[in-house]
A = this chain, B = another copy of it.
Amino acid sequence: MLPAEVRVDDLMTAAADLFIAKGIEATTVNDIVELAGVGKGTFYHYFATKEDVILALRERFSRDFTKKVADALAQCPGDDHRARFATWLRGTVEAYIANYELHDVVFHEFRHSNRNSKEKEIVIAQLSALLGEGAKADAWSLPDVRAAAIAIYDGMHGVVDDAIATGNGDAGAICDRLSLLFGRILVA
């Protein structure tokens, strides 16, 4: 018998693959347990509904996303703030492009009216911390760190979305474009 975390993770991964392949509506709990190779009872031990799986996937997505960026930042000297921002940008753009199909599934119910989602707050907090540290060390000045973090994060999101939509989803080229743009914001 596999440990509980592994089975939950397998169920979530199976569900994500099916949601991407055939859509949330068309995916049944039967499909999920079959692909995950577990019994239906196991599914209902962890999740009440398909919606619960999506919420769990959303949390996992955000956690994986910020952890990937945090790991990359850990390799970066703490006092090289421009390198840290470049690392954030590269890590974020790459993670988004690599996982946008999953992103679209887990955030399929994203609503503008949900203006303070927990998941968004996590990524904004991470970027705000980075921008705030750079400002404190005079690597740049920012009259409003939070506004800058939100504008940069959402700006990045929109430009990457446009690149995906127009079939220009090359992370390197996107990062070059965004570096020029955001580098102008991060001035003394």
Question: Which residues of chain A have a CB within 8 Å of any CB of chain B?
Answer: 103-104, 107-108, 110-113, 115-116, 143-144, 146-148, 150-159, 161-162, 164-166, 177-178, 180-181, 184-185, 187
Give complex CA distance A181, B143 in Å: 9
Residues of B within 8 A of A111 (CB): 104, 108, 110
CB <8 Å contact, B116 and A177: no
Residues of B within 8 A of A115 (CB): 161-162, 164-165
- Given A143-B177, A178-B147, A187-B184; A103-B110 close (CB under 8 Å): no
CB <8 Å contact, A165 and B116: yes
Give complex CA distance A157, B115 in Å: 11
- Given A154-B157, A159-B151, A184-B187; A107-B112 close (CB under 8 Å): yes
- Given A115-B161, A116-B165, A164-B115; A151-B181 close (CB under 8 Å): yes
CB <8 Å contact, A155 and B150: yes
- Given A153-B158, A155-B152; A147-B112 close (CB under 8 Å): no
Residues of B within 8 A of A144 (CB): 177, 180-181
Additional 7 contacts, C-beta under 8 A, given A104-B112, A110-B112 = A108-B111, A108-B112, A143-B177, A144-B180, A147-B162, A150-B155, A154-B158
CB <8 Å contact, B148 and A181: yes
CB <8 Å contact, B112 and A161: yes
- Given A112-B103, A187-B184; A147-B159 close (CB under 8 Å): yes
Minimal beta-carbon separation of A173 from chain B (angstroms) = 10
Minimal beta-carbon separation of A57 from chain B (angstroms) = 14
